[in-house]
Each structure stands twice: as structure tokens, then as C-alpha cells.
Chains A and B, each alone.
Chain A
Amino acid sequence: MTMLDIRDITKRFGGLVANDSIAFTVEAGQIFAVIGPNGAGKTTLFNMVAGTFPPSEGEVAFDGAVISGRSVAEIAQSGLVRTYQLVQLFKQMTVAENVMVGFHRVTTGGVFSALVRPPGVRRQEREIREKTAEILEFVGLSHRADVTADLLPYGEQRLLEVARALAAGPKLLLLDEPAAGLNTEETAELARVVRKVNENGVTIMLIEHDMGLVMQIAHRIAVLDFGRKIAEGTPEEIRAHPEVIAAYLGGTEGYDD
């Protein structure tokens, strides 16, 4: 089953073509990585998928429905949840509360239910607390539950972002350079968590610079360079692909002429 279908999307910023009719599909259950040198258009692609801005041409379909043109919140509501390259935690809230916010999508209740607290809402709050504890256990942050988020070391902030996204019960999780700024140990821990999340049935698409991480966890990889998709395949295929090697080793003679 196709989870994400990217149909020839193009993005122009004035005269700059950031993405040039890119197409690929992410199948349910996959870990799909998008790699490419700086400025290749990875983040632009990501933002179009998540709904930060619409594509100039083409469209994105998620879980069978076209989502291009919908707002970020609407897209999130349909089960596509993203994390950010620069960690966007709710810094004044505790680690547990950050995860609790993640449940927003899959819970209900506004001002009225907050004030009256009918039994259903109280039950829901209890469930949120229990599931939050489970998720923190899952990513290995249980011991930090009551710490204010901005006091966490960077590696744990990343994990917390993943934990918070998990709370939203995503069908597809978009990870924007999850290993950026992490040391080797932290990256290994992250890889372990991402794989575990995937094994629990969440499809994952990530942008990443850390080739070691990508080759280790991705089932399928798309390579972008200068806004175009230059290759797609399994890690083994990508490793051996001449254009990819050229792009990464700086040999751009291939397209200069």
C-alpha cells in the first residue's frame, strides 16, 4: 500500500527552481530516506509534503488523499506528523507535558470539558498520562519525565521530539535531519529508536546528512541534487550509483555540459 505519493512536484522561488518535478512513492511500513548535498532541495520537498507551502506544480497524496493546499495542522490531523531540523520543543513545559501535547490529534475536548471535567475527560486524561509514560519508556526518557524540556541535553531533546510526534499516533512520521548535531552515541541511540518506531508499524520518511545513519536504517533512498531526483533505490544500489558518487564527491562535470 502506498502511504505517500509525490507526483511530479515542482517548487519555484522566483527564478530559482528548488524542486524540479520530483516523483517517488513511500510504501507503508518503509523507512524512506531523502539525501543530497546542501541546497539540493530536501527541505523544500519536506515543507511541501508537510504543507508549510504548496508546490508550484504537481501534488502530494497521503494515505490515498491529495493533501497539497491543506494547512500544516490539517495535514497533521490526517496523520502525517513532522519534526524539525532545529528542535522545536515546548521549552517551558516538562518532558511529560511535551509528550502529552502530542496526543492533541487523537484526543478531544476544549474549554468546556476542561472546566466541567466530565468522567470521559477524566478517563482520557488518565489514559494520556499512562500512554505518555509508555512512550517515554519506549524512547528511554522515563527518568526525565518531570524535567523542564529546555534543561535536556541535545540528544535527549531530539528523542523527546520523536516521542512527542509518536504521541500523535502518526501513520507517517517525517524526520527533518534527526541526527543533526548529535554525537556518535546519540546517533546510535536515535537509530535504535527510529527502527523500533518503524517496527511498531509507523512509516518513516527522513531527510538526513549522516550517511552512516541512512545506510544503516533506510529501506529505500532517494537522492536529490540541484533540485532534481538523480537516483532512487535500496542502500546497496545507491552506494554503487555513479551519479550519486559524483554528487557526493563534488564531481559535477556530469551536468555542467
Chain B
Amino acid sequence: MKSSLTMTLPDTTSTRSGLPWRQILLGVLAVAIVVYSFTANGYVVTVIGFAAIYALFCTGLNFFMGFTGQASFGQNAFAALGGYGSAILTADYSVEPAVALVLTMGFSGLVALIVGYPTLRLRGHYLAMATFALGLITYEISINWTDLTQGYMGYSGIPPLGIGPYYADSPKAQLAVIFVLLALGVIAAARLKNSRFGRACRAIAGSELAAGALGIPVARYKLISFVIAAVYASAAGSLFAHFVGFISPEVFGTAMVVQSFTMLYLGGIGTIAGPLIGAVVVSMLPEVMRGLKDFQTVGYLLLLLAILIYAPRGLHGLLERILPDREG
């Protein structure tokens, strides 16, 4: 293999017609949403803000589920850690929101490391059950440890995001901060995906046997990608707390798991853009369907079913078929 061949791989962004049309389309859509949200009214800002926070959450979950191929039904636990952590630190102890965000991310990562170490020995359904239990336990704690979390009453008076003298004092300013953090999160995920580490994770999803035989420490990498997903979930939880100013146990309940799974599979799991597409579409659908009145939920579910049947690899997969990456 010491040959002097200098053939290089085709540029991964080239398409049939030379331009990466899919990426351009997605970029234009993203810009359109950002621009629209800054001209829209308060309600739209809230909906888009939630979509962006979910997009961040799903980007992390996608790393663990889409790339590393493991199941977690309990990521809401880490969103709760982030949300309550930020709420308590900023409202009760007057910690800077930006500092609280980073602290809770670190804490959630640490918890994921400790919890993940024994849990990730499980596989498939067993791992799913164990992580589901993790979510339930966190939910119960957030209800019953009232001294800390104020239980069902919820936690209010959480200040908006900010650092030092700069505070995002309007919803639109908050949204801008969320967009910036989401962009950072997506860039980080994309960099991780196309790295030695990310390739190894995707290899684990393909075949643990073969990954191990190539010298990849399977257990350690699964654990690291679980921690990554937890850190993203924690950040999403913190952003939610600051964006709304109020959290309660229900916010981080099982509904969050269902919602994020819908987003992942509908958008296209295992891709960078998929979770974003899913988060936006699933957040918008109920609003679009509002005109159906009583049949709103029925219409929503029918559309979901149709997408899952006709685009089994999600909307991003559908888009890939229409605007493929490369020749051949």
C-alpha cells in the first residue's frame, strides 16, 4: 500500500449539476425562518423558540440514537436537570444564566457518565427500558422533592438569558440567543459526525463486532455519545427555563420523549439536518392544522402516518431522493 496514487475522493458536496442544491434549499429555509420569526408576533416567536429548543435537544439525542445507534427513552431526565438546575441557580442563588447553563451542562454530563456506565451494558429493549426508567425517576423526583423543585407548583421567576450586564430582555432577543446556541450545537454535531470519533460511533451502530475488531473501544464510545446527548438535552432544558421563565415537572415529562422521537423519525434520524427539519415541522403542524378545529389531532396524526409510510427515512430522506448528494 505504499503506492504513490494521488487519487482523491470526490468532493462530498458536489451534485449532478455541480451545486449542492439540497444544502442551499435547507439553508434558505433556515434563513427564512429566522428572518420571519423576527418580524412575527409574540405567539409565533414562542412557537419558533420551542421548535429551536427542541431542535437542540433532538440534535443531541440524534447523536446517541441516530449515529451511535443506541436507544434512550430517558433524555428528558437531562433536560429536567438542565431546566431545574438553571432555574435554581439563577433564581435562588443569583448565578449568571450563562454560567448556570454551562454548570448544569457539566453536571448533566457527569450524571450521564455515572448513570450510563452500568446502564449502557444493556442493549436494545433493555437499554430502552432502563433509560425510560431514568426519565420516570427524574420526573418523580421533580414532583416529590418539593423543597428543591416546588413540586407541581412549578418554578417561576427564572430570569432571561444573559451574561454580565447584557440581558436578553425581550422574547425576540432570547430567540436570537437560542438561534446562536442552536447553530453552535449543530456545527458541533456536524464536526463530531465527520471525525474519527463520529465515524467510530456510526461504525458501532453498524456492527459492534466489527467496530471492536478494528480497535474501537465500543463501551467507552457509547458512553461518551450518551454524555454528549445528555449535555445537549441539559442545554435545551436550561434554554426552555429561561425562555419561558417558568418550569414544572410536566414540561420534562414523558410527552417530551414522544415529541422528540416524532421529530427525529419524521425529520430523518442519523442525519444532521433531519432533527432540525423534524423539530420545525412537528412544532408547526398543530398550528397549521388549527383550521381543522375538532379534527386537528386527527389531521396531525394522519399526516404523521403518511410521512412515515411514504418517507420511511424521514423528510430529509425524501429530500435526499429528490436532490441527491452525488453521482452514482
Contact = CB atoms under 8 A, between A and B. Distances in A.
Contacts of A119: none
Contact of A97 (B191, B199, B212, B224): B199
A107 B211 CA distance: 15
B108 to A, nearest CB: 16
A146 B7 contact: no
Given A133-B7, A133-B8, A111 B192 contact: yes
Interface stretch (B48-56, B214-222, B242-250): B214-222
Contacts of A130: 6, 8
Contact of B1 (A89, A134, A146): A134
A135 interface: yes
Contact of B207 (A89, A103, A143, A165): A89
A80 B188 CA distance: 34
B205 interface: yes
A97 B270 CA distance: 15
B195 interface: yes
A194 interface: no
B213 A109 contact: no
A33 interface: no
A114 B197 contact: yes
A184 interface: no
A76 B214 contact: yes
B207 A88 contact: yes
A149 B215 CA distance: 20
A52 B218 CA distance: 14
A71 B218 CA distance: 11
Contact of B228 (A72, A111, A146, A161): A111
Contacts of B203: 90, 93, 101, 104
B35 interface: no
Nearest to A103: B196
B197 A109 contact: yes
Contacts of A97: 199, 202
B283 to A, nearest CB: 27
B66 to A, nearest CB: 10
Interface string A95-129: 01100111111011111011101000100110011
Contact of B5 (A50, A104, A137): A137
A168 interface: yes
Contacts of A84: 209-210, 213
B213 A113 contact: no
A104 B207 contact: no
Contacts of B206: 88-93, 149
B3 interface: yes
B10 interface: yes
Interface string A187-204: 000000000000010000
A229 interface: no
Given A93-B206, A146-B326, 7 more contacts: A73-B212, A73-B213, A101-B214, A110-B197, A114-B191, A146-B328, A164-B214
28 contacts: A72-B212, A73-B213, A73-B217, A76-B214, A81-B214, A84-B209, A89-B207, A90-B203, A90-B207, A90-B210, A90-B211, A91-B206, A92-B270, A102-B214, A104-B199, A104-B203, A104-B216, A105-B215, A113-B195, A114-B198, A129-B9, A132-B9, A134-B1, A135-B1, A137-B7, A146-B326, A147-B328, A161-B210
List the 10 closest pairs (A to B, CB-CB), nearest first.
A90-B206, A114-B195, A88-B210, A105-B215, A76-B215, A88-B207, A101-B203, A77-B215, A133-B7, A72-B212
